[in-house]
Chains A and B, each alone.
Chain A
Amino acid sequence: MDTEKAFRLELWDAELRPWFLHVIPDAIKSVSILGVLLLFWEGVALLRFLGYPDDLLQRLEKTHFFFIWIALVAISINFVLKLVISTWRK
């Protein structure tokens, strides 16, 4: 019983806790960046609704597409590199 408890404690302290400490802040920051881009998208929708010219809105939509593309790429690279480097260091 004690061995099992010790194993659980070690699993939590040595493996899971550091993993959570890395992943949770990263996930929050990633969601925040995507959230800002969602606001951008809603802003474009609002401008369309208020009757701004289609030409301007199409350019803004393209801009939004570029930012969401690079945001997804950067966030994915971050998660992958973190895993690769932590595995490499072990």
Chain B
Amino acid sequence: MDDDRARWSVIIGCILIVGTAASIDVVLFDSSVDDALVLMTVLTVILLLCLLAWRSILGFPARETDPEFPSRRSLIIQLASIVFVAFTPLMLRAFEVREVEQTLTQASRAAFSSDDAQKVEMRLAAARANRLRVDSRVLQVAGAAFINTSGENPDAWSTVREFLSYRSFLNVSLYPKVTPATGTSNYRTTVTITNLGPHQDQPALHVIFAGGYASGENSARLESLANPQPVGSEFSYFIIEGGNATLGLDGEFMKNVIIRDADISYAGGAVRLENVWFVNCTFHDYTLKGKATNLGETILASASVTFVTSS
């Protein structure tokens, strides 16, 4: 155990042999991961026993009474490799962000085909999944280009939905972090559910008062335009936590509302949104009708959405 170089050769040898054997087992022989783990355990034990037997035959090296510190050159190389490894993921992320931005910029400049629209959609979905943060101005310009051409190129609308979802992902770090409020209110909230997902065990949506007291005019609202409430909620914010349901915007009056992790639908109808934050939402049922393009542009333009339309 005192022979440092030999010991680490054995460790690296073990890693290479056992890791490669398990990879071959899964890739070439279609074994399950569990079987590969059993194989790895058995191989590790066999290698360890072989090593002990080999050392017993040859004899353990004499104990070092005064171990030496690694040489400066060795230390510098090892520390440099650690720094390199630590910074490489950051460089890779920066490269990936630039790649997405270039794709968006190129797509927004040229007349794009259905393939281009699909490529942009996939890139944005991958960027969202990998939590890459693209510049919101690039996103706004490219998204507006897709929205403007969606009339002639209906394939682009699916990409527009992904733009909206991505913008709401960017809002994760921007929305006001208010805490749930205690107390009660006579205010009656109304939300529209347009669809239910397959996970029936999950709650449809969860509405929370948040941010403390606010006077009537400044307080949050969450009601139907067809059934207006006489006074505000007297709470600063409403938080709508997404669940199994799709939240409809048509016919809603929302003021100071944070919508988190929800699926959003909109069919271009009347809506009044004041200081509404879409955070990590998806827009699967956001259809190309009525004022949907205008609301889409507004969502892409800023984190907090204020938008009023009567049709």
Binding site for B on A (CB under 8 A): 18, 21-22, 24-25, 28-29, 31-33, 35-36, 38-39, 42, 45-46, 48-49, 51, 59, 62-63, 65-67, 69-71, 73-75, 77-78, 81-82, 85-86, 89
Contact = CB atoms under 8 A, between A and B. Distances in A.
B: contact size bracket: 35 or more
B78 A32 contact: yes
Contact of A70 (B40, B89, B126): B40
A82 B4 CA distance: 11
B79 A66 contact: no
> Nearest 10 pairs between A and B by C-beta?
A35-B85, A67-B19, A66-B22, A63-B23, A70-B18, A21-B67, A28-B78, A85-B1, A74-B11, A42-B89
B126 A39 contact: no
A38 B23 contact: no
B214 interface: no
B21 to A, nearest CB: 9
A89 B2 CA distance: 12
Nearest to B7: A78
B92 A46 contact: yes
A49 B69 contact: no
A45 B22 contact: no
A66 B39 CA distance: 11
B226 interface: no
B37 A69 contact: yes
Nearest to B21: A66
A70 B85 contact: no
**Chain A binding surface SS class:** helix
A63 B31 CA distance: 12
**Chain B binding surface SS class:** helix
A86 B1 CA distance: 9
A89 B63 contact: yes
B57 interface: no
Interface string B17-56: 0110011001100000100110010001000100000000
A9 to B, nearest CB: 15
B10 to A, nearest CB: 9
B48 A77 contact: yes
Specify which of A21, A59, A81 lies most central, judged by the most chain B CB atoms within 10 Å of its CB.
A21
Interface in B163-213: none
Contact of A66 (B36, B82, B96): B36
Interface string B123-165: 0001000100000000000000000000000000000000000
Given A59-B26, A69-B40, A49 B15 contact: no
12 contacts: A21-B67, A28-B78, A29-B78, A36-B85, A39-B88, A48-B130, A63-B26, A66-B26, A67-B15, A70-B44, A71-B19, A81-B1
Contact of B130 (A32, A33, A49): A49
B89 A66 contact: no
B70 interface: yes
B82 A35 contact: yes
B19 A63 contact: yes
A22 to B, nearest CB: 6
A62 B85 contact: no
